[in-house]
Amino acid sequence: MIKSLDGLRALAIGFVVLSHAGFHIEGKIGVEVFFVISGFLITKNLLEECKALGTISFRNFYIRRFARLFPALVLVAITTMVFLIIAREFESIYIASLVYMLTFTTDLWIWLGSEVITHFFDFSWSLGVEEQFYLVWPVILAFVLRLKRMQRPLLLLFFFGSILFSFLWRLGHSGSNHSVDALFFGPLAHLGALAGGCLIAFPATSRFFLLCKERFPTATTLTGWSCLISLFYVSHYPSPVPFKLDISALLFASGASIILVGYLVNNETDLLARVFGSKVPIFVGRLSYTLYLFNIVFFEIIQFILKKNLSEFNLAELAIMLFLLVIFCYVVYRFYEMPLRKLINRLQN
């Protein structure tokens, strides 16, 4: 595991959680960072498996994905449903929304204009985008890796074609009646971020970053820091509504995320990588999936117990609530997710 990427996950989940807590931050920038990190790590693991075994095991890949995603997903589903029943807020539409989440199709239904997606489960749109991508990417990768001569041009065609298609998708929907849904929740809207992350995992890309560091050390370092600052700037875009329709802001965030991830994984001794690789960011980053799933229902439970809205919380109360969220997610991660994940992986072997 690359420590600095765990730290970068902490930044990404910070954007998401703080936006849900009522701070004026665009949380979807954090999701864009997650897409890039995910594409990189998945592809890196697949390439290492292919190098070691000579092939990619689709069975093992999807079992690992199941072990990674489903334990916490099922628990948040049960927790949310129990809370809705206790709070007497349960409605039949929650069943459909729950099914969409567990089948990784929330993004498709939001994109198609479904009225039954509830805010308790709408976070799962990003899980849908990822899993739909990973239905096809391992197959494409395994096929291309068998083609020795055409391997590089086909991969370049896929990567840059995906990035271009993602741009054209957003451009094509920028003036439509469903432009916000298409830009954010469409199944192909984040193809560029995922493909960009995949691209970074290949040795040729690593050599490029290392060459830049060797020949232009100062410029490379400044580029890494500039990408980080850019993410903070875009996440504080002046107005949430224009942001949702601003293609340039979305593309800027995707590009900055791709370059920043590439910089971190190839410059692990630099100051920026050491900052992200320190203990606190790593701790929070490893809880990022659990935090992503549970933060909404956790905030709802707190509001229900205290009989007040998040907008009425002062800064100290928000800080305490966020601290309690991290503690809760650590307990879930340490004593529920990890044991189940290890059990599933043992059964696989």
Residue 344 has what pLDDT?
A: 84
Please give the model's pTM, rounded to 2 decimal places: 0.93
State yes or no: pLDDT of 180 exceeds 90: no
Q: Which residues contact 275 (CB under 8 A, 6 or more apart)?
A: 7, 281
- pLDDT the model gives residue 240: 43
Is the pLDDT confidence value at 241 over 60? no
- Is 80 exceeded by the pLDDT of residue 348? no
Which pLDDT value is given to residue 243?
41
Q: Write a three-state SS string for the chain.
A: CCHHHHHHHHHHHHHHHHHHCCCCCCCHHHHHHHHHHHHHHHHHHHHHHHHHHCCCCHHHHHHHHHHHHHHHHHHHHHHHHHHHHHCCCCCCHHHHHHHHHHCCCHHHHHHCCCCCCCCCCHHHHHHHHHHHHHHHHHHHHHHHHCCCCCHHHHHHHHHHHHHHHHHHHHHHHCCCCCHHHHHHHCCCCCHHHHHHHHHHCCHHHHHHHHHHHHHCHHHHHHHHHHHHHHHHHHHCCCCHHHHHHCHHHHHHHHHHHHHHHHHHHHCCCCHHHHHHCCHHHHHHHHCHHHHHHHHHHHHHHHHHHHCCCHHHCCHHHHHHHHHHHHHHHHHHHHHHHHHHHHHHHHHHC
Indicate whether 242 pLDDT > 50. Answer: no
Residue 43 pLDDT grade (very low, low, confident, very high; cuts 50, 70, 90): very high
Give residue-wise pLDDT tens across range 244-278. 445 667 778 888 999 999 999 999 889 999 999 99
Nearest-10 Cα torsion for 10, 16, 21, 22: 130
77 contacts 98 by C-beta, under 8 angstroms: yes
% of the chain with per-residue pLDDT over 70: 91
Question: Which has the higher per-residue pLDDT, 86 or 347?
Answer: 86
- pLDDT value of residue 177: 53
